[in-house]
Each structure stands twice: as structure tokens, then as C-alpha cells.
Amino acid sequence: MATATTPRYSIGAFAQAVGLTAPTLRYYENEGLIEPHRLANGRRYYEETDVNWVKFLLHLKGTGMSISELKQYVEWRAAGDSTIPQRLELLKKVKADFLVQFNEVQHHLQILNDKINWYEEKEAGVTQDHEDFATYLQRFGHRE
């Protein structure tokens, strides 16, 4: 009977695979987010499941979670299924914060778009008097 062996990544190869640098991986490890295996000579190695794990962490990070929040999440995960309520609560809080930011940022984009359009109209139009940006915004119902 054959034993299926999962490929082992050195820290460099793993960094490539997840889109980080080796120093960043060591930093994350220090912060308690990852716990790689070690070869007999002390070198780290990572397995396929670690790729998914880090990619998932990066998604959470991308929604605004800080390193310390990620650490808290990781600790709860290591503590087992009894911490699922805490994890769920944390993720819901992260989501709520995210949605607030998301709306704000969409409004910022709106104003940016309006300003670009205003410049383009100004460039295209005659050199003479052009309504100012505030007035322009009002025409679209965009405040401030």
C-alpha cells in the first residue's frame, strides 16, 4: 500500500505560493498566525493545507482585520469547536465594520468621478466661465 506524501514547501517556495516574502512569513509566525513544521536541521517547511490557510488569512486581512484580530481568531480556532460562537461574533463585527467603510468609500469614489467629469467638461468646453465644482455637484444631487 502506497503512502500519499504531500509536497513540502521551503519558506522561499511557500512565500512564492502565497504571494508574500519570507520575512513576512516569519513575522506572521512570530505574531502567532502560522506554525510551520520543521526539518531535523531546524528549517521550516510548509504543506499544501498551509497554502489555503494563509490565503484565507489574507482574505480576512483584506476585509480590514488587523494582525492582532487575526491572532485572536487563530487562537480561538486552535482551542476547538467550542469557540465557534466567538469566532462568528468576531467575523460578524469585521463584516459590519467593513460595510460601513465600504459605503463611505463608494461615496468618495462618487466625488472622485464627479471631479474627473467636471475637469473633462471644463477641458472640452469653451475657455470662458464654467460653473464651479460645488454647483456642479448640486446638479447631480451629490453633496459635499
Partner DNA sequence: TGTTGACTTAAAGTGGACTTTAAGTTGTAA
Partner DNA sequence: TTACAACTTAAAGTCCACTTTAAGTCAACA
Binding site for DNA (CB under 7 A): 10-13, 21-24, 26-28, 41-44, 61, 66-68
Give min distance, CB of 91 to its own copies, in A.
5
Residue (of 115, 103, 102) closest to 144 by Cα position: 115
Q: Does 66 participate in binding its own copies (rule CB under 8 A)?
A: no
Q: Does 80 participate in binding its own copies (rule CB under 8 A)?
A: no
Q: How many CA atoms lie within 13 A of 132 on its CB side?
A: 2
Q: Does 123 participate in binding its own copies (rule CB under 8 A)?
A: yes
H/E element holding 45?
Answer: strand 44-45
121 binds, among its own copies, DNA, none (CB under 5 to 8 A by kind): none
Q: Does 109 participate in binding its own copies (rule CB under 8 A)?
A: yes
Q: Does 119 participate in binding its own copies (rule CB under 8 A)?
A: yes
Residue 46's Cβ-count burial label (10 Å; 0-12, 13-18, 19+) is buried
